[in-house]
């Protein structure tokens, strides 16, 4: 009887070990293996026109990043599920916790984000400038004047405006908006007098000026930053990035990316190179 009980205990223990190892293997499966086996990429996104646009009435998504991600996935034989709208400050945490596989909004990489995520090759490049309220001539063409405790900068929590303010203008005060605010609200903060300056790329500023003509002006003609626009996945997912980057290269070489930028009338704001040409910037 004791031998039978001991043998039974061994069998139970063996089954438990096998199940544990199986669960461990599943939980550590690479993103590349997972999307190939399921056929689906789960995507989180931040609304940021014109790269990611959400229709306020229907919830339908569009934009440069959306179209490119959809086509890259299609070329890889994969489907997409745009599963969650997130904020700038929480988007990488969603990758780490596995709520989605990729951030579908094109974002700007920096050293702080590189500690937490891995990035694709740049799809395109954008420049960032300071923008001030029209009629306020304190800054004119000299962004260095922004580094003063008499200046208030409009920033968005977890977004690049916060990093620029902290790194380049540490003496300035900040008018900080919560992370789910739209970037256009930063410019509204400037025009309303709650802040003196904010940082934006021309696509955002030009769109704002269409609805608020003559309300803001660009401080200086030299970009304060030039960023590559990239997709992000969890740190360590190199096999997926290798696959995804090949799909992005195909879209660059066949002209899809250029046509997509033109489709959203953003060719003056986004360039396929990090170096400005002619009067683009």
Q: Which domains, and CATH codes, for the chain?
A: 31-125+227-271 (3.40.190.10), 126-225 (3.40.190.10)
> Taking the CB of residue 257, how many other CB atoms lie within 10 A of it?
23
- Dump strand ranges (E) for the chain: 40-45, 53-54, 61-62, 79-85, 102-107, 117-119, 124-133, 152-156, 173-177, 197-200, 216-218, 225-234, 270-271
Q: What is the pTM of this model?
A: 0.75
The pLDDT of residue 140 is: 72
Which pLDDT does position 53 carry in this prediction?
96
Residues whose CB falls within 8 Å of the CB of residue 93, separated by 6 or more in sequence, listed in order? none
The closest alpha carbon to 171, from 145, 197, 147, belongs to 147
Q: What pLDDT is recorded for position 139? A: 81
Please report, in angstroms and rounded to a whole number, the separation of the first and last CA atoms in the chain.
85
H/E element holding 27? helix 2-27
| Angstrom distance (rounded) from CA 195 to CA 152 | 5
User: Considering Cα of 259, then 226, then 120, then 94, what sign does the dihedral take?
Assistant: negative
Bridge partners (DSSP) of residue 218 are 131
pLDDT given for residue 268 in this prediction:
79
* b/e sequence 81-117, b meaning 16+ C-beta within 10 Å: ebbebbbbbbbbebbeeeebbbbbbbbbbeeebeeeb
In order along its 281 residues, the chain shows pLDDT tens digits of 544 444 444 444 444 443 443 333 345 789 999 999 999 999 999 999 999 999 999 999 999 999 999 999 999 999 999 999 999 889 999 999 999 999 999 999 988 889 999 999 999 998 899 999 999 988 877 788 899 999 999 999 988 899 999 999 999 999 999 977 888 899 999 999 999 999 999 888 988 999 999 999 999 888 899 899 999 999 999 999 999 999 999 999 999 999 999 999 988 788 765 444 444 54
pLDDT at 187: 96
> Which ranges of 169-270 would DSSP assign to H, the alpha helix?
184-191, 202-211, 238-253, 256-263
pLDDT of residue 89: 84
Question: CB of 116 within 8 A of CB of 241?
Answer: no
């Amino acid at each position: 009887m004791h031998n039978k009980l001991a043998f039974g205990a061994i069998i139970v223990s063996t089954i438990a070990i096998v199940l544990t190892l199986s669960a461990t293997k599943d939980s550590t499966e690479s993103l590349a293996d997972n999307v190939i086996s399921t056929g689906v990429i789960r995507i989180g996104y931040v609304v940021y026109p014109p790269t990611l646009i959400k229709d306020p009435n229907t919830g339908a998504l569009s934009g440069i990043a959306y179209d490119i991600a959809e086509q890259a996935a299609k070329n890889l034989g994969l489907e997409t599920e745009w599963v969650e709208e997130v904020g700038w400050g929480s988007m990488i945490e969603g990758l780490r916790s596995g709520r989605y596989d990729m951030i579908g909004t094109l974002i700007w990489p920096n050293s702080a984000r590189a500690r937490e995520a891995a990035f694709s090759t740049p799809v395109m490049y954008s420049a960032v400038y300071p923008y001030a309220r029209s009629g306020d001539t304190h800054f004119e063409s000299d962004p260095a004047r922004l580094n003063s405790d008499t200046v208030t900068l409009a920033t968005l929590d977890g977004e690049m405006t916060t990093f620029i303010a902290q790194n380049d203008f540490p003496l300035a005060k900040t008018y900080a908006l919560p992370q789910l605010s739209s970037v256009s609200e930063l410019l509204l903060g400037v025009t309303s007098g709650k802040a003196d300056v904010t940082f934006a790329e021309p696509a955002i500023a030009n769109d704002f000026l269409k609805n608020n003509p003559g309300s803001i002006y660009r401080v200086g003609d030299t970009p304060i930053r030039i960023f590559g626009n990239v997709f992000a996945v969890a740190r360590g997912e190199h096999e997926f990035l290798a696959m995804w980057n090949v799909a992005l290269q195909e879209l660059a070489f066949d002209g899809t990316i250029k046509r997509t930028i033109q489709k959203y009338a953003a060719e003056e704001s986004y360039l396929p190179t990090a170096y400005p040409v002619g009067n683009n910037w």
